[in-house]
């Protein structure tokens, strides 16, 4: 074999070896990753005509428009709050945490979920859609929609501790799977699929404990959202009931959202669970894609937080809204 042939063969073998170890690239644009210390600015958000006194049963407290020069900022699909810090998870494996002080944000930090179902370059490999935290330890659970898996991360998101692909989620539609995930105060976990099994109902699962523990078997039920709405997140109310954020897309480019309260007591095996609409968010108050939901307690008051997803479109805003859950509802 001549020298030129040997060199060509060696080159081809090197290329083949690289292709075997480098994540697949299908021509789609590689997702950017967030910087460790992104610059995030906040400005007041006031809808056209001002805030109404009430939005359904809730009272608006205020809103912020969040922005950053970091190309990986935005596209947030989930929201959690712990110790005064908001955790904003994008659907591309990027996460931003920041401290909320009145109408300002401080100490923004960027995190990248480097361990997940796949470690490739496109959105399908890092389709992180839902997030919930243990308020005591700071551990985080993330639902991956395309792969129908749940991963648990150490506090600070430095590494994954374990993960599972629950059998009950195996037939959920790719890209329409674990859109919401919430850890309840008693240690149970609740998740909803975004779509299916039909136009009127959505799959729901209630795990009695950590869903990443081997052999965890959930209660299966169906959630019936308002007509043409899909669940995008959920959070636990002080009395143990659930508040579900549902949203609807309408052409040409308009979103509306409904907050639906469902009774925890109604979640039983094979039950079809519906609830009461507590508020509807629609233009001019909000016309963006409401994706993330969290609930906090402040001096005896229940606060409802919502973050919007700009679908990674730089020209669209990211809003963080804060509303007060009324005492009359808390006493029901």
Domains recognised in the chain with CATH numbers: 38-330 (2.120.10)
* 109 preceded by a cis bond (ω within 30 of 0): no
Q: Label residues 48-73 b or e (16+ Cβ within 10 Å = b).
A: eeebeeebbbbbbeebbebbbebebb
Residue 280's contacts (CB-CB under 8 Å, 6 or more residues apart) are 55, 56, 256, 257, 258, 259
pLDDT tens digits, one per residue of 229-252: 999 999 999 999 999 999 999 887
Tens of pLDDT along 3-21? 444 444 454 444 344 333 3
- The pTM of this model reads 0.87
Q: Which two tokens stand for residue 265?
A: 């007591």
Q: What is the mean pLDDT of the chain?
A: 87
Look at residue 91 in the predicted model and tell me its pLDDT.
86
Average pLDDT over residues 205-230: 94
Strand order in the sheet with 230-236: 230-236, 242-250, 254-262, 276-281
Q: What mean pLDDT comes out for the span 167-182? A: 83
Residue 126: helix, strand or coil by DSSP? helix
Distance, CA of 89 to CA of 292 (rounded, Å)? 9
Query: Measured in Å, how far apart are the chain's first and last C-alpha atoms?
Result: 85
User: Which CA distances in Å does 72 have to 108, 154, 313?
Assistant: 14, 22, 11
The two three-digit tokens of residue 96, written as one number? 């931003």
For β-strands 276-281 and 272-273, DSSP reports them as: unpaired
**pLDDT the model gives residue 23:** 39
- Candidate from 61-65, 151-155, 175-179 with smallest mean pLDDT: 175-179
Q: pLDDT value at position 226?
A: 94
| Mean pLDDT confidence for 76-94 | 94
Of 35 and 103, the structure prediction assigns the larger pLDDT to 35
Q: What percent of the chain has a predicted confidence (pLDDT) above 90?
A: 69
More confident residue, 280 or 145: 280
- Token pair for residue 59? 């009272």
3-state secondary structure of 136: coil
Output DSSP code: residue 316.
S
pLDDT band at 118 (very low <50, low <70, confident <90, very high): confident
Residues in the chain: 332
């Amino acid at each position: 074999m001549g020298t030129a042939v040997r060199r060509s063969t060696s080159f081809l073998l090197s290329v083949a070896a690289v292709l075997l170890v480098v994540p697949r690239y299908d021509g789609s644009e590689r997702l950017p990753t967030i910087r460790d210390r992104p610059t995030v600015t906040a400005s007041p958000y006031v809808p056209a005509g001002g805030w109404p006194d009430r939005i359904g049963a809730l009272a608006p407290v205020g809103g912020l428009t969040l922005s950053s020069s970091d190309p990986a900022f935005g596209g947030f699909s989930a929201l959690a709050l712990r110790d005064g810090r908001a955790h904003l998870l994008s659907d591309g494996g990027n996460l931003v945490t920041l401290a909320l002080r009145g109408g300002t944000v401080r100490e923004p930090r960027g995190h990248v979920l480097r361990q997940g179902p796949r470690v490739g370059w496109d959105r399908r490999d890092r389709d992180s859609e839902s997030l919930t935290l243990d308020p005591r330890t700071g551990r985080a659970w993330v639902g991956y929609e395309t792969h129908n898996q749940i991963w648990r991360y150490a506090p600070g998101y430095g590494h994954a501790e374990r993960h599972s692909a629950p059998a009950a989620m195996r037939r959920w539609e790719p890209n329409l799977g674990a859109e919401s995930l919430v850890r309840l105060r008693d240690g149970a976990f609740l998740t909803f699929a975004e779509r299916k099994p039909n136009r009127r109902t959505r799959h729901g699962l209630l795990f009695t404990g950590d869903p990443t523990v081997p052999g965890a078997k959930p209660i299966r039920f169906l959630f019936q959202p308002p007509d043409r709405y899909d669940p995008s997140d959920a959070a636990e109310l002080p009395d143990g009931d659930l508040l579900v954020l549902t949203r609807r897309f309408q052409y040409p480019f308009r979103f509306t959202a409904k907050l639906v309260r469902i009774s925890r007591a109604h979640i039983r095996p094979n039950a079809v669970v519906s609830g009461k609409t507590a508020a509807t968010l629609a233009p001019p108050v909000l016309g963006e894609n409401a994706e993330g939901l969290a609930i906090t307690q402040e001096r005896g008051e229940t606060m409802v937080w919502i973050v919007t997803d700009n679908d990674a479109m730089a020209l669209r805003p990211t809003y963080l809204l804060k509303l007060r859950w009324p005492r009359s509802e808390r006493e029901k």
